[in-house]
Structure 1
């Protein structure tokens, strides 16, 4: 019965027998990995977080952000926007640096952290990667400042109107207070009307002060700000590509696999060659020389004579 299972011991014997092929296959892969690791151009990766600008003095129920998060993500992915980023630092659209920038730009939304936009971009040096990230934020900030200009001007104008109304109301209150003092005890109806107007003016002043305080808080840096970096750009000291540890680890795995495959293939070829030779030798026995054929025929005749003699005897 033929045994089809392959055991670890059998594999070990094959590797020991065909160790030259195993070593040759492993060395071939390791040489290719070593050449790739030293020939590939190093790349460094910069990570940045963008805080989307907003104006807090918008009508109730409206999003104070200058642009929704989804729209900002789509804008960053647009090739024209990316070309504008490259043009802002003096790089042409078809330059290798621009191709690396467009290929390596990775965007990740963080809707529950602000919202924020996390993005990574690569360059052929740490300084270039940092420059790419800073140019991206600067270009987006310039676009958002144009969109923020209108709502910010309207909110500031509203604050100016409230302040002017407050000054006017305070002046009116002083006039009414003086009128109440002058008519006190002289003209009772006039004094009563002046008192009512003074009370109304006091309520108006209170409302204007509350509106002024609310608008001032909304226009403070905590609630109204431009699109900017949330934290400084981070560029690790080690290069992002090629990752030598990862490349060498994968290369070693492939080297062992290819070495074992080469040894197994060589062993299979050797066995098939040996089986073919044995089969040919068996076939050759059918074509013996003439002398060998006559000797075999004589032997068969002698056996037949002995059998006949045994049958004829009593």
Structure 2
């Protein structure tokens, strides 16, 4: 008897945990809420549909009435002078300073004036508002920027004018350093020319000797001087070669566009995919809100 009793007791279900009861009730409430929402939308479908149509119509009107804007992207290579004092940055202007210069109003006004636009025109305002500078930290001499215009041609013009104006500024900054480097090259080349001429003269003396010098001391001295001149000539040739390398196009160059300015075929604003996506989501949300609000008003009345 006791065995049967204990068996029956074991077969009886245990009391459910309070947390599981809460979760079950929450699921039931969610299911009821979703069903009620569906019933509300089915009952107030006219209000839902009206709001959806209004929002989509507003999106359509905005897409067709708003002024198109095209975006140009340009990459700038900062000017560099290869022949600079030891420890000095060969770039004409540091990367961060270039980024700050591009965003100053004075520089932007110079860009607008260079293409014949008033600094207070609507196009100039669009240029200043849309200019975005992105220094490429992984490449210490490159800057990328984007700018917008009312057409693809104008956006490209803005980008090219920005690069051209920055080149003019950097030409003034590099003029002194470049002049010193070229003056140093001219000095080395002049010294090398004199040393070669002096060596040739000494070689002639050492080769034929001096008629009045019976012991040949003049020829011996000329030979020593030739050897000394040869060492000086090799040093000057090495210096000249180093200067020519540093002043070549691989180490010394002006500010320029690294690649051609890129302008997509389609406008950057308004973006059809983004605005239609936001418009559809807003239409569904506001439609559901209008249906719920109308249902609440009907119940209150």
- TM-score, normalized by length of structure 2? 0.87
Q: Deviation digits for residues 180-233 of structure 1, max 9, x if unmatched? A: 123399434333322221111000000010111111111111111110111100
Residue pair 2:95, 2:140 contacting (<8 A) in 1 also: no
Q: Within 5 Å, which residues of 2 pair with 1:92-241? A: 92-183=118-209, 186-241=214-269
Q: 1:248 aligns with which of 276, 285, 288?
A: 276
CA distance in 2, matches of 1:103, 1:116: 22
Report deviation, 1:113.
Answer: 2.3
CA distance in 2, matches of 1:70, 1:236: 28
Residue pair 1:51, 1:114 contacting (<8 A) in 2 also: no
Q: Deviation digits for residues 119-175 of structure 1, max 9, x if unmatched? A: 000000000000000110111111111111111111111111111111100011111
Query: Which residue number in structure 2 is paired with residue 298 of structure 1?
Result: none
Greater alpha carbon shift after TM alignment, 141-150 vs 250-259: 141-150
Q: 2:51 aligns with which of 16, 19, 25?
A: 25
Report deviation, 1:9.
Answer: 1.8
Q: Within 5 Å, which residues of 2 pair with 1:55-70? A: 55-70=81-96
List alignment gaps of at least 5 residues for structure 1. Answer: 274-314
CA distance in 2, matches of 1:173, 1:112: 50
Query: Which residue number in structure 1 is paired with residue 288 of structure 2?
Result: 260
CA distance in 2, matches of 1:264, 1:37: 29
Q: Within 5 Å, which residues of 2 pair with 1:270-285? A: 270-273=298-301
CA distance in 1, matches of 2:187, 2:215: 36
List alignment gaps of at least 5 residues for structure 2. Answer: 1-27
Report deviation, 1:112.
Answer: 2.3
CA distance in 2, matches of 1:56, 1:187: 52
Structure of greater Rg: 1
CA distance in 2, matches of 1:264, 1:112: 54
CA distance in 1, matches of 2:34, 2:100: 55
Secondary structure, in 3 states, of the residue corresponding to 1:26?
helix
Residue pair 2:91, 2:141 contacting (<8 A) in 1 also: no
Query: Which residue number in structure 2 is paired with residue 45 of structure 1?
Result: 71
CA distance in 2, matches of 1:117, 1:163: 37
**Root-mean-square deviation (Å):** 1.7
Report deviation, 1:270.
Answer: 1.6
Q: 2:297 aligns with which of 248, 269, 290?
A: 269
Residue pair 1:44, 1:238 contacting (<8 A) in 2 also: yes
CA distance in 2, matches of 1:61, 1:203: 28
